Structure formats: C-alpha cells, structure tokens
Amino acid sequence: MDNVPLSIAERFGMLEDPRTGHAKRHELLDIIVITLCAVICCADNWVEIEEFGKAKEDWFRRFLQLPNGIPSHDTFGRVFGLLDPEQFSACFMDWVRSVSELAQGEVVAIDGKTLRGCHDRANGRGALHMVSAWATENRMVLGQTRTEAHSNEITAIPELLKVLELKGCLVTIDAMGCQRNIAQQVVQGGADYLLAVKANQGELHQNIKDLFACCERVGWDGVAYSHHQQVGKDHGRLERRECWAITDPEELTYVDPQRQWASLGAVARVSYRRDATTDAPTDTRYYICSYPADAATLLASARSHWSIENSLHWVLDVAFDEDHSRVRTGHADQNLAVIRHLALNLLKQERTAKVGIKAKRKKAGWDFDYLLKVLSL
C-alpha cells in the first residue's frame, strides 16, 4: 500500500467486512480503493468501475494485493450493497477530520439533496435523500446522513450534528431546519447558528416581520441595529443586496418573549433585487442568529450558505451525473454517494489544475501522476 495515501488506507482499512467464508475472494480495501480511483476518473457505475480496474490492473498491482485480479461489477455492487452505511460514513468523516481543520467562524452549510435516479418503484422504494454538511471556506463535505424523504430533514439534521465537530463554526440551515431543538443542539456543541425563518415558524416569522415594520415606522429611533448594502454583478445582471440586523435585547424579547430560541442574539432581514432597478421584484428573507452579528457579517454568511447548492449539489449533478445514477441495491446508493463526496473533496483540494471538476476527473483518468496528486491529500 506504499503509494496509497496513508490517511485513506488507515481510515477505511478499519471498516468491518460484511462478507463471510469463500465470499472474500477480493480484499475489501482493494475494492474501495479501485472504486474511489475509478469514480475520480469518470466511472459512474459498477460496469465502468470494473472496466477501469481491468484497464489499469498493472498500475493497481503496484500497491494493491489483488489476489484474484480485478473484481467483477457484480462484486463491486454486492459489496457496496452490504457495507454498513453508518460505518462507511463514519470512516469518511474520520478521514475528513484527519486532513482538514475548520477555522474559527467558518460557515458550515447544512442542506439536503435527492438522488432522483435511484428510486425503485417496483419494490416501493423512494429516491435516496442525503443531508450533507459543507464547509464553505475549506470547500469540503464534512459529513452526510440519509433520510427517506425531504420532510424528514428535521430528524436527520440532529443526527448529523451529533457526529460533526463544529465548535467555533457558524452553522447555516434553510427554513426546513429552523427548529428550536436544532438551535439548542448547535449552541450546546459550541457553535453558532444562522437559521432562515419562513412561514413554517408562523409566530416567529410574523414577529420578525412586525418588528422590522415597526422599526421603519419610527425611523429606527433608539434601536440597536446595523445596515449593509452591496451592489454587484451576478450572471451578467446587477443585483442589489441589503441586510438590516437588529441586536437590541429589548427588541429581541418581542421576537422571542418566552426565550425559546437558544442564545438568540440577532434577527436579520435580507433583500435581493435583480437589475438594481426600482421596479424589479424584491426577494426578502428573514433570519435568526445566535450571536449579535452585524449586518455585513450576516449578509456574507447568508450568501455563503448557497455555496452548498452551487459547489456541492450542482457539481454532483453536472460533473458526476449523480441524479441519473441507477445504483440502488441494498446500501449501495448511500455508500456510493459517500464515495462521490470523497472524490469531490479530493478534487476540490487539488488546485494545480485550473479547470473545473469534470475536467479534473478526465485529467486524472488520462494522467496517473495527476491521479496520485489528487489522492495525496
């Protein structure tokens, strides 16, 4: 295993092998390493992974055991279908912690994504929905957990928070995760939260809207607040972004009179207007935050949250074609999704090639010196 990065071999080498007896014709770590390398190099299903392994068998023999050659595509699918997804995800998160360190105040966005192609209607199985945590500065997936349906993100997010180490970070979650128990869990874990508030939190949402309307009527007289505005180009169009943040303890008592939201330190209103013209439609969003942050900080953090859509979910669909994956036997869909996250992390951290993720995948397949560079994180 001399040429396999020690961190990957160590973390996944401790994984429990679900096979017994004569079923162990191939080493488990060999199967995982071949799969990871193949996925990095543009293989998106078990047949392609087998063909990649056969084409590069001589190269793999430099550092893998391969006692019975390259496994068949059925073997890849069967093994990944049997692997315990919680153990596999835990190995992934252990690897992430070994190669990265989150900076103080790092924005960690949590959001869900549905893998639309892996449903199995004949057997009554819906599409896999994964909730992931994305470090916006480090540009890495920190962890993930499965939920059966989009509505169950409320139960999946606490499970994900349990296994993440987020002390000193700012956790951002959309309105689905705006729940008192989630806010409490984030604070107890030594982190701060920035939660989007919509009509699912009816009283809280209305109180925040009323507070900002009242402050505007009195001209913000006597209110501890801050305001920040940005105007910039986005996809060729001008966009005006404005944020008002209220940190006045007396006003926050009106928003949360029973103090149900842990460490509530600020409420914010963020407005987006395309083309920066007076007649352009305005998109207004509301947020709560666990510390008295100013408007500039809150605006930047709210915008950072959407990098999980642009830098993770969109890339998985466009560069990895994840939405069209038909892998669905056993736990294979969930475990292969973790392999994609691992591959994406490695490709994101390799910065010598100034091209997109899809081009990096092709380059790794063409140039094995570059593949080793990608694997060397």
Instruction: Please write the tens of the pLDDT for every residue from 337-354.
Output: 999 999 999 999 999 999
Top-confidence residue, 195 or 11:
195
The total number of structural domains that make up the chain: 2
Ramachandran angles phi, psi of 62, nearest 5°: -70, -25
Whether residue 126 is found in the same domain as residue 181: yes
Among the candidates 310, 341, 358, a domain finishes at 310
Which DSSP string corresponds to 137-182?
TTTEEEEEEEESSGGGHHHHHHHHHHH---TT-EEEE-GGG--HHH
User: Using CA atoms, how far apart are residues 82 and 93, in angstroms rounded to an integer?
Assistant: 20
The crossing angle, in degrees rounded to 10, of helices 46-55 and 73-82 is 120
**Residue 284 above 80 pLDDT?**
yes
How far apart (Å, rounded) are the C-alpha atoms in residues 107 and 171? Answer: 6
Task: Tell me: do 297 and 194 sit in the same domain.
Answer: yes
To which residue do tokens 């842990």 refer?
262
Same domain, 176 and 213: yes
Which tokens is 37 given? 């390398």
Verdict on whether the full-model pTM lies above 0.75: yes
| Count of CB atoms situated within 10 Å of the CB of 252 | 23
Query: pLDDT averaged over the chain?
Result: 91
Tens-place pLDDT, residues 126-167: 678 899 999 999 999 999 999 865 557 889 999 999 999 999
Place of tokens 């835990």: 90
Do 245 and 109 share a domain, yes or no? yes
> Does some domain include residue 315?
no
**Cα within 13 Å of Cα(222), Cβ side:** 5
**C-alpha closest to that of 201 among 216, 183, 219, 225:** 183
Q: Letter for the amino acid at 187?
A: V
| The pLDDT value given to residue 150 | 52
* Interval 72-85 mean pLDDT: 96
Q: Same domain, yes or no, for 352 and 292?
A: no
113 belongs to a structural domain: yes
Residue 220 φ/ψ region, left for φ over 0, alpha for ψ in the -120 to 50 degree band, beta for the rest: left
pLDDT number for residue 236 = 66
Do 209 and 61 lie in one domain? The reply is: no
Is residue 279 domain-resident? yes
Q: Is residue 88 part of a domain?
A: no
pLDDT value of residue 334: 94
Boundary of a domain, candidates 310, 337, 359: 310
Q: Which of 24, 34, 32 is nearest to 61 (CA)?
A: 34
Confidence of residue 270 (pLDDT cuts 50, 70, 90): very high
Rounded mean pLDDT, 347-370: 96
Q: Is residue 320 part of a domain?
A: no
Residue 231 has what pLDDT? 86
3-state helix/strand/coil string of 36-105: HHHHHCCCCCHHHHHHHHHHCHHHHCCCCCCCCCCCCHHHHHHHHHHCCHHHHHHHHHHHHHHHCCCCCC
pLDDT at site 3: 47
Q: Are residues 195 and 302 in the same domain?
A: yes
What is the arithmetic mean of pLDDT over 258-273? 95
CA–CA dist 159, 176 (Å, integer): 15
Is the backbone of residue 165 left (phi > 0), alpha (psi -120 to 50) or beta?
A: beta
Say how many C-beta atoms besides its own lie within 10 A of residue 317's C-beta. Answer: 15
Q: Return the percentage of the chain with pLDDT > 70, whole number.
A: 92
Neighbouring-strand partners of residue 282: 273
In a shared domain, residues 169 and 277: yes
Q: Which of 306, 307, 340 is nearest to 323 (CA)?
A: 340
Q: What pLDDT is attached to residue 356?
A: 96
Residue 181: band (very low, low, confident or very high) from pLDDT cuts 50, 70, 90: very high
In a domain, 321, yes or no: no
Per the domain annotation, does 323 fall within a domain?
no
pLDDT in tens, 3-52: 445 578 888 988 999 998 877 899 999 999 999 999 999 999 999 999 99
CB 139, CB 341: distance < 8 Å: no
291 in a domain, yes or no? yes
Res. 1: pLDDT tops 50: no
Paired tokens of 68: 């019975």
pLDDT tens for each residue of 286-298: 999 999 999 999 9
pLDDT of residue 280 exceeding 70: no
Higher pLDDT pick, 273 / 333: 333
- What is the CB neighbour count within 10 angstroms for residue 163? 16
Distance CA(160)–CA(177), nearest Å, equals 12
- Domain housing 12: 6-83+329-375
* CA dihedral (170, 172, 177, 178) positive or negative: positive
Higher pLDDT, 119 or 191: 191
Residues 257 and 230 in one domain: yes
114 lies in the same domain as 226: yes
DSSP letter string, 190-222: T-EEEEEE-TTSHHHHHHHHHHHHHHHHTTTTT
